[in-house]
Amino acid sequence: MNKDFDSLELIKIYLKSKRFEGIKRTYSPEKVQELRSKIKISYDISNLGALNLWELLNQPSKWVSGLGSATVQQAMQLEKLDFQIIYVSGWQIAAESNFGTNTYPDLSLYPSNSTPEFVRKINNTLLRKSAENKKLKLPSIIADGESGFGGIYNVFDLTTQFINAGAAGIHFEDQLASEKKCGHVGGKVVIPTFEFIKKLNASRLASDVLGVPIVLIARTDALHAKLATSDFDDRDREYLSKKRTSDGYFEIKNNKELAITKSLAYAEFADVIWCETNDPDLGFAKEFATEIKNKFPNKFLAYNCSPSLNWMDKFTKKELNNFQESLFKIGYNLQFVSLAGFHSMISSFYELGKNFKESNMEAIANLQVKETQMSKSGFTGLKHQQEVGSNYYELVGEALLDEDSELLMKKDSTENTQF
């Protein structure tokens, strides 16, 4: 069918496709048409990643699991291990990979384009690597949109940036953007249900305009927030105290019911629902899943197995080994460890620094022994030049220079002569 990208007929077919079954929008196909250009731009990495992620969520016998990557090289390791998704946490962007002039706590202090550009950098690196390994798929990237860094216009634009960068899924949370906090600290303020639904629609509208079926994840922080901006929404009012704090916000008097009520409202608009928790409690996880599934039996649920929670003293080894499967059995198809990259990075480097201070170059030799042993199971970082693209650019050199050229890298590389 040879039609312009802004064809109303094509837009209606797209919006009514099986992919969006059960999804509600507050805008019409005509509004999508007004915002679409006639020329279709291809966002292949985002589109393919979103389709792949949707397929993974729909697999009947296995959950989707991933680790949060704080650096591109960590994402590379996950790709080598055939992880199907890579999670990009706003907390880790603030802590390590933002465009600001400092590291930050999780307060949305960093420039808002930091996370989309980090996603782009991961995808560009993995795409270049795919020229060498000839893999047909890249891992689907799920990215943190925080509270949207503002209102509906900010969310619309941020979603557009994420799709341009190649994100497959995005999550937004129902905190007040100007007071946004990490989900595992105090001081959180949630916004009215209707206001967050507007943000979900803003994100969906952006993806509809671009024609990319991004997986939209709605997160509520109401379970452990103490404050709400307003009691205007009837759905929220009965769970709020009439008392205002010295900051002018309403106190929440029934967190659990508020979190469930909000999530049920979000489920009409989002593909996946996530309730952030302060405790790895399978009991509440089951209660929450039951409430959502009773009304939306096909709705996907997400769970953050966060290192902000203490996993050391609550479970037996068997319970830890079965935790994700237990979550899956009660309805959680999407699971990830949000800050895995940060904790892995700083703990391993601290250990190396301590060993180096105590034993000098023996610490480096021991590190190389460890890397050599890991190489037997697929680790390639012992030869660090290839990790950053040297093999790819050597192929560029071989294509443009004589293969006997002394300008090529491999001939005198210590990686080839010593390892």
* DSSP state letter for 40: P
Yes or no: say if 344 and 74 are a contact pair by the CB < 8 Å rule.
yes
Total Cβ atoms within 10 A of residue 404 = 7
DSSP run (H or E) holding 391: helix 390-400
What does the angle CA 302 – CA 303 – CA 307 come to, to the nearest 5 degrees?
145
Yes or no: say if 106 and 181 are a contact pair by the CB < 8 Å rule.
yes
Nearest Cα to 83, choosing from 142, 163, 159, 164?
142
Nearest Cα to 14, choosing from 156, 297, 242, 210?
210
- E-strand ranges in 135-289 read 140-144, 169-173, 189-190, 215-220, 227-228, 240-244, 250-252, 272-275
Pairing of strands 189-190, 140-144: unpaired
57, 168, 182, 260: which one is catalytic?
182
Yes or no: say if 295 and 52 are a contact pair by the CB < 8 Å rule.
no
Nearest Cα to 96, choosing from 69, 78, 116?
69
Check if 305 is active-site: no
Give catalytic residues, as residue numbers.
182
